[in-house]
């Protein structure tokens, strides 16, 4: 790559963030995907790059309930958790722009996905089973997995949820690369989606430095 082209690419990147923020308006960037897809890890870094607040829906549910998600599932059941999840997501999406990481089941709640469509740009962090399994097995705090055959549960959830997640505005393949790589791909895809992407393949002739 010529020096001039490299400089232009940098300029494009510098202009990309303000352009995205302007085009986003009050909308939120909403990360969806299965447990282990990297919604929180990518979301935090994405928010930092875009200089937007980062909000984790699961954390907000825990704060609102004064209990951990495991406790909510154990004491009140999944249906109760989903009700709380729907309400919290509706409340959080009133406060955009922000980066919002949702729990894996959130987009499956019809009302929640409708609110996400209205008030956000949805990004599906799609991942293959081995990637997800490797990640979820590192910690044992997810009520849908505790004491169950993780592989079978994840296979079932993929079959049930992937066709619905596929309706998201943007899909980015989550894989075993540094989070920054995924963040960059998300930013590019958001810029394209919002119509503020500049593709420069050649430096203008007059600036060309070889």
Point out which residues bind ligand S3P (CB under 6 A).
35, 39, 58, 69, 103-105, 142-144
Nearer to ligand S3P, 100 or 187 (CB): 100
CB of 144 to ligand S3P, least distance (A): 5
Is the Cβ of residue 4 or residue 70 nearer to ligand S3P in the bound state? 70
Torsion sign across C-alpha atoms 82, 28, 183, 110: positive
* Shortest distance (Å) from residue 197 CB to ligand S3P: 29
Angle made by CA atoms 195, 184, 174, in degrees to the nearest 5? 110
Both tokens assigned to 149:
């055959």
Judged by CB, which is closer to ligand S3P: 22, or 64? 64
Q: Give the residue nearest to ligand S3P (CB).
A: 103
- 107, 162 Cβ separation under 8 angstroms: no
- φ, ψ for residue 97, nearest 5 deg: -80, 150
Between 11 and 110, whose beta carbon lies closer to ligand S3P? 110
Least distance between ligand S3P and beta carbon 85 (Å):
7
DSSP secondary structure letters along 118-150: HHEEEEEEE--HHHHHHHHTT----TTTTTS-H
* Minimal distance, residue 81 CB to ligand S3P, in Å: 7
């Amino acid at each position: 790559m010529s020096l001039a082209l490299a400089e232009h690419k940098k300029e494009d990147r510098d202009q990309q963030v303000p352009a995205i923020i302007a085009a986003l308006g009050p909308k939120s960037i909403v990360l969806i995907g299965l447990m282990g897809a990297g919604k929180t890890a990518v979301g935090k870094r994405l928010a930092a790059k875009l200089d937007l607040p980062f909000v984790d829906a699961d954390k907000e549910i825990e704060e609102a309930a004064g209990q951990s998600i495991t406790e909510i599932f154990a004491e009140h059941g999944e249906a109760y958790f989903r009700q709380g999840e729907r309400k919290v997501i509706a409340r959080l999406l009133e406060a955009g722009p922000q980066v919002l990481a949702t729990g894996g089941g959130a987009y499956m709640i019809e009302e929640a996905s409708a609110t996400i469509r209205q008030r956000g740009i949805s990004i599906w962090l799609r991942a293959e089973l081995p990637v997800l399994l490797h990640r979820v097995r590192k910690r044992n705090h997810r009520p849908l997995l505790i004491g169950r055959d993780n592989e079978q549960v994840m296979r079932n959830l993929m079959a049930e949820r992937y066709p619905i997640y596929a309706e998201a505005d943007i899909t980015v393949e989550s894989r075993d690369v540094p989070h920054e790589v995924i963040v960059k791909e998300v930013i590019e895809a958001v810029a394209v989606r919002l119509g503020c992407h500049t593709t420069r393949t050649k430096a203008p002739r007059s600036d060309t430095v070889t």
